[in-house]
């Protein structure tokens, strides 16, 4: 009986111990600010999402919005290329009015802007993230910052939303992202956002993707709004990659050949 008690006690102790992961303390943030090379990279990968009842946006987009008329019913935001074969991540709420309408990804391809119809691969309202795909090679794409590396509060970042991405000064993370294999989390940064920035990339000084813009928080005392901080989301990157791989296997005819590395 004593042996059984000891075995049960040891088993529960082992289970409790194995279920508790100890996160090492955050290091001091990297003080390097994203430089011109990272800004050029972000400009080359800038992506918009346009949702409209129109069937075609190409003449308007390919003229760099100078010829023809844009859609009068447009909704949308920003998106982020995350693979060489047409996958983009965006904020789920960008797609909130997409039912029964066309979703276009406006992205630089072969030196010109193109508007390509996209399909929704996955959506998550709880994490405010969504995955889109276009059947076009996208050699200019982001790689994720390492899930095994701390991104402590104070880490310098930029963002590339279509509304303010290239009018914003670099900012920094307000909340840190601890290391871990899953590494999916909501975090905050101190760069003010505007409508249209949702779904845009949050990028570190090494040009790696940290997360996706989600929302802005304001304090409104006496009818005067004061910016507090912006929210962003980082997905469970391994789980996201599994979704992409599953979609590739399910839709081989829609997956373009890979041209280049980022």
Tens of pLDDT, residue by residue over 63-103, are 777 776 778 888 899 999 999 999 999 999 999 999 999 99
**Which are the contacts of 17, defined by CB distance < 8 A and separation ≥ 6?**
none
Residue 160 shares a structural domain with residue 129 = no
Q: Quick one: pLDDT at residue 8? A: 37
pLDDT, average across residues 40-65: 90
Structural domain count of the chain: 2
In the DSSP assignment, the letter for residue 63 is T
34 or 19, which is more confident: 34
Residue 186 shares a structural domain with residue 129 = no
Q: Is residue 148 part of a domain?
A: yes
Q: What's the pTM? A: 0.85
Closest CA to 94 of 261, 214, 235: 214
Q: Is residue 80 part of a domain?
A: yes
Q: Is residue 196 part of a domain?
A: yes
Percent of the chain predicted with pLDDT > 90 = 61
Residue 21 has pLDDT above 90, yes or no: no
Q: Is residue 65 part of a domain?
A: yes
Residue 118 shares a structural domain with residue 181 = no
Residue 259 has pLDDT above 80, yes or no: no
Instruction: Tell me the CATH number at 233.
Output: 2.40.10.10
Q: Is residue 253 part of a domain?
A: no
Helical residues (DSSP H) of the chain, grouped into ranges: 2-19, 36-44, 58-62, 237-250
Confidence of residue 15 (pLDDT cuts 50, 70, 90): very low
For residue 98, what are the domain limits? 45-141
Residue 134 shares a structural domain with residue 151 = no
Residue 68 shares a structural domain with residue 97 = yes
Residue 112 shares a structural domain with residue 76 = yes
Q: For the segment 142-179, what is each residue's pLDDT rounded down to a tens digit?
A: 999 998 888 999 999 999 999 888 888 899 999 999 98
Residue 14 has pLDDT above 50, yes or no: no
What CA–CA distance (Å, rounded) separates 84 from 87?
8
């Amino acid at each position: 009986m004593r042996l059984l008690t000891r075995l049960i006690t040891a088993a529960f102790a082992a289970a409790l111990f194995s279920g508790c992961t100890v996160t090492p303390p955050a290091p001091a943030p990297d003080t390097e600010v994203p430089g011109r090379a990272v800004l050029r990279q972000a400009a080359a990968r800038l992506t918009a999402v346009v949702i409209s009842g129109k069937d075609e946006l190409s003449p308007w987009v390919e003229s760099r919005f100078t010829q023809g008329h844009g859609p009068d019913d447009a909704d949308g935001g920003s998106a982020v290329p995350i693979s060489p074969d047409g996958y983009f991540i965006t904020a789920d709420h960008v797609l909130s009015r997409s039912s029964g309408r066309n979703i276009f990804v406006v992205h630089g391809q072969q030196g010109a802007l193109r508007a390509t119809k996209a399909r929704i691969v996955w959506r998550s309202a709880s994490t405010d993230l969504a995955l889109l795909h276009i059947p076009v090679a996208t050699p200019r794409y982001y790689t994720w910052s390492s899930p095994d590396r701390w991104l402590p509060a104070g880490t310098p970042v930029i963002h590339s939303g279509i509304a303010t991405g290239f009018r914003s000064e670099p900012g920094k993370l307000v909340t840190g992202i601890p290391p871990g294999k899953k590494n999916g989390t909501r975090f905050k940064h101190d760069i003010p956002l505007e409508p249209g920035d949702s779904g845009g990339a949050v990028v570190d000084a090494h040009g790696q993707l940290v997360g996706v813009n989600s929302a802005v928080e304001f304090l409104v005392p006496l009818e005067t709004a004061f910016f507090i901080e912006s929210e962003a989301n980082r997905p469970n990157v391994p789980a996201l990659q599994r979704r992409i791989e599953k979609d590739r296997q399910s839709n081989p005819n829609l997956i373009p050949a890979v041209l280049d590395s980022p």
